[in-house]
Amino acid sequence: MPDENCIFCKIIAGEIPSTRVFEDENCVAFNDLHPQAPAHILIIPRLHIDSLDKARFEDKETVGHLLLTAAEIARESGFAENGYRVVINTNSDGGQTVFHLHIHLLGGREFVFPPG
């Protein structure tokens, strides 16, 4: 069920504009509004799930689909061979600000580990 207060559900519905780079029956991918790398794409499920913490084993196809879609977008975008970072910020200490599960796909530069 879409959450009427969720900005990512509104992006899926087209009520908030975004630059989509990929979509299919399970997910939508679009450029982050405040990019942290030359490529910074968010991949979100069409199904509203608050966070990874709220995902359950019955969501495994949805979550797996997001991850494999991130890898496919990285290859299609041309930065897979150099490398990239995928991030799922979860809850407060994880730095999550939008509570609709999303994968950050960051590419086009080198990243340090551990992240801050």
Q: What's the CA gap between 109 and 4, in Å, rounded?
A: 36
Q: How far is the CB of 70 from ligand 5GP (least distance, A)?
A: 14
Among 29, 30, 43, 105, binds ligand 5GP (CB under 6 A): 30
Q: How far is the CB of 94 from ligand 5GP (least distance, A)?
A: 8
- Where does the chain have alpha helices with state H? 7-13, 60-77
Q: Does 71 bind ligand 5GP (CB under 6 A)?
A: no
Q: Which is nearer to ligand 5GP, 30 or 79 (CB)?
A: 30
**What backbone torsions phi and psi does residue 12 show, to the nearest 5 degrees?**
-60, -40
**Cα separations (Å) of 77 from 18, 20, 35, 91, 92?**
18, 13, 16, 29, 31
Instruction: Judge contact between 32 and 108, C-beta under 8 A.
Output: no
Q: How far is the CB of 34 from ligand 5GP (least distance, A)?
A: 4
For 32-116, strand residue ranges (E) read 39-45, 84-87, 103-107
Q: Which is nearer to ligand 5GP, 81 or 115 (CB)?
A: 115
Pick from Zn ion, ligand 5GP, none: which does 3 bind, CB < 5 to 8 A by kind? Zn ion
Q: Is 34 a catalytic residue?
A: no
**Which one is catalytic: 65, 100, 102, 104?**
102
- Give the residues lining the site for Zn ion (CB under 5 A): 3, 6, 8-9, 48, 100
